[in-house]
Amino acid sequence: PPPQAEERILKKVRRKIRNKQSAQDSRRRKKEYLDGLESRAAACSAQNQELRKKIQELERRNGSLLRQLQALIKQTSSKAAQTSACVLV
């Protein structure tokens, strides 16, 4: 074949090689990106679970503190009533 035809064939082969390499690189980058997203999603899920446990613990402690406060209010109001009674007598 004439030199121009050989050159066209060479260009075509080089282009195919470059395209193939580019496609491989693209698939590799996509896989790395997805792996990173999966890793972040797993980390976020773990953190979310920890935070849910912490919320449950805080809600439990809050309920306990509210009951203690209500008990103190009852004690204080009954003492005030007794003190008032003593003052009135």
Going 50 to 55 to 58 to 64, the CA torsion angle's sign is negative
- Residue range 62-85, pLDDT digits in tens: 999 999 999 999 988 877 666 554
Instruction: Quickly state the pLDDT bin for 7 (edges 50, 70, 90).
Output: very high
Q: What is the pLDDT of residue 89?
A: 43
Q: What is the DSSP letter of 56?
A: H
Number of H helices and E strands in the chain, helices first, is 1, 0
Average pLDDT of the chain, as a whole number: 90
pTM for the predicted model, two decimal places: 0.60
